Amino acid sequence: MFKVAVIGSGPAAFYTAQHLLKSRSNVSIHMFEKLATPFGLVRFGIAADHQDAKKVANKFDELATHYQKEGRFQFVGGVEVVGSEDADAVANASLSQRRLPFSLLRKNYDVVIAAYGAESAKTMPLKQGRAVSAHDFVQWVNGHPDSIGHSDMFAHHLEAETAVVVGHGNVALDVARVLLDDVDSLRRTDVPDNVLQVLAESKVRHVRLVARRGPFQMAFTAKELREMTKLPNASYMPNELLSSEPYKSSDSLPWLDRSPKRLMQILHGSGDAKAIKSKSWALDWYLSPHQILQDENTKSIKAIQFQKTSPVSSVVPFGSKIELVPNEFVDMPCGLVISSLGYTGLPLPNCSEDLPFDARSGVIPNIQGRVIDPATKAPIEGLYASGWIKRGAVGVIAATMYDAVETADSILADLETAKPDASKQGFAGIQAHLGGKAVSYDGWKVLDEHERKEGAKRGKLREKVVDLKSAMRIIDMGDK
């Protein structure tokens, strides 16, 4: 049997595992996850009002249950894989989360797959002031353990009437929707009760989504933008830039790609000035964030200052680099600034040499999923990458699936000429290190059932246990 260790348990981990387990009967997989719960951004990223997209977790559950019964799959939750030299952290690891040196995985498994996502928010450089990050907002709404205690902070932020969200991608739209939509639309989902309470008291009435580049560079998907224009209680306020050339006649521009044309059609067909709704939202372009301005007495945010920019050429198709000329500064009054500039990958904590990392692009250097030595470009035997940490933090789950299949195909091709290494002990080689503290898949199912039951009492899908220690306690009690 080939022993395979996967770091992470998001879509990339599950799709890679699925392809390997289905393709070969002599592969067994251990999936190491730092949190007590599986499924990565399916649980903690995808918006709560997109429950259909979250249903992919049911497929992963079927896979785990099936192959666990066969004895070829094991979930190892509450175990963070870290750098080999992080001995102090390993020794001091809390009872609710164990740390496992990467070198132990390499020593005990034939194949190690890094599928640990790209979890860090890109920061917005500002001369003065700090924006709230969309990453933190999304984690809070989704009940991520790192957001424990954040409700007071967000209650304070949501006292603002106008919020500016910097960024024109789908996550920015997710944030704007949560800020503007009626909180009742979230009550039956899995948004934690204390978050719903804060959202219900939010004073935000107007959201401006701002980007440094122009309308043809928007990175929204058509489905999400259309959904935004149809919010029942928030009007879209068209920006007059869209009434000028070349944006006005975007449909007939021969050099413009299909994707921005579609987005422009949606915007041109939206915005009913007569509809009176209690909230509103708008899009702004060619504004580069400069600094956040505070009220001198109250220290609360009163505006964000942008530097206006203009494109050198109006012929700038979607996805291409755009050259901008800086112009004058302009203040946009608001009480809250949220930066949504995307995510980036990080190396494993304290893992500098064993697992190569390209800090510039935020990914593990690889060729079709085979991790390569950055100096020689040669593949490192038995080491692979999959998902966002392999290709960068872009793409929906379908894209992550294709990417995972590519990695699995590389592994399968390499296994054709390999033999299982008898010296690799697999889980037996690391068990002593974990001290029996990891969360099994059955343990996760205990927590899952607990959350569903608590949710049912409240008429919602689930009530998430946000605190990792509490989650571990529930698992420990039920897993006996």
Ligand X SMILES: Cc1cc2nc3c(=O)[nH]c(=O)nc-3n(C[C@H](O)[C@H](O)[C@H](O)COP(=O)(O)OP(=O)(O)OC[C@H]3O[C@@H](n4cnc5c(N)ncnc54)[C@H](O)[C@@H]3O)c2cc1C
Q: Give the residue among 97, 143, 136 at the shortest CA–CA distance from 469.
A: 97
Q: Quick one: 33 or 451, whose CB is closer to ligand X?
A: 33
CA distances from 427 to 21, 109, 284 (A): 17, 8, 53
Site for ligand X contains 8 (CB under 6 A): yes
DSSP state for residue 69 in the 8-state scheme: H
Site for ligand X contains 188 (CB under 6 A): no
Number of alpha carbons in the 13 Å side-chain half-sphere of residue 289: 26
- Considering only 2-10, 225-233, 241-249, 429-437, which stretch makes contact with ligand X by CB under 6 A? 2-10
Quote the CA–CA distance of 396 and 12 in Å, as a whole number: 11
Quote the CA–CA distance of 54 and 43 in Å, as a whole number: 7
Min separation Cβ 8 and ligand X, Å: 3
Q: Phi first, then psi: what are they for 374, rounded to 5°?
A: -60, -30
Site for ligand X contains 169 (CB under 6 A): no
Choice from 78, 83, 101, 117 touching ligand X (CB under 6 A): 117
CA dihedral 260, 263, 268, 274 (to 10 degrees): -160
Which residues, in sequence order, are bridge partners of residue 339?
133, 166
Asked if residue 85 lies in contact with residue 102, where contact means CB atoms within 8 angstroms, the answer is no
Choice from 20, 60, 75, 80 touching ligand X (CB under 6 A): 80
Count residues binding ligand X (CB under 6 A): 35
Print the binding letters for residues 26-65 with ligand X: x by CB under 6 A, - otherwise.
------xxxx----xx---xxx--x--x------------
Quote the CA–CA distance of 163 and 278 in Å, as a whole number: 15
Min separation Cβ 139 and ligand X, Å: 9
Asked if residue 404 lies in contact with residue 20, where contact means CB atoms within 8 angstroms, the answer is no
Asked if residue 233 lies in contact with residue 181, where contact means CB atoms within 8 angstroms, the answer is yes
How long, in residues, is the chain?
480
Which residues, in sequence order, are bridge partners of residue 293?
303
**Contacts with ligand X in 313-332 (CB under 6 A)?**
none
Choice from 3, 5, 6, 10 touching ligand X (CB under 6 A): 10
**Contacts with ligand X in 403-422 (CB under 6 A)?**
none
Min separation Cβ 406 and ligand X, Å: 13
Quote the CA–CA distance of 54 and 10 in Å, as a whole number: 12
Q: Quick one: 50 or 452, whose CB is closer to ligand X?
A: 50
Asked if residue 148 lies in contact with residue 471, where contact means CB atoms within 8 angstroms, the answer is no
Place of tokens 């949501």: 158
Site for ligand X contains 168 (CB under 6 A): no
Choice from 155, 242, 397, 405 touching ligand X (CB under 6 A): 397
Closest CB to ligand X: residue number: 10
Choice from 21, 36, 81, 355 touching ligand X (CB under 6 A): 81
Print the binding letters for residues 350-389 with ligand X: x by CB under 6 A, - otherwise.
-------------------------------------xx-
Print the binding letters for residues 235-264 with ligand X: x by CB under 6 A, - otherwise.
------------------------------
Paired tokens of 218: 């928007």
DSSP state for residue 464 in the 8-state scheme: -
- Considering only 109-117, 249-257, 286-294, 423-431, which stretch makes contact with ligand X by CB under 6 A? 109-117
Chain residues that interact with ligand X, rule: CB under 6 A: 7-13, 32-35, 40-41, 45-47, 50, 53, 80-81, 115-117, 119, 138, 171, 174, 343, 348, 387-388, 395-397, 400
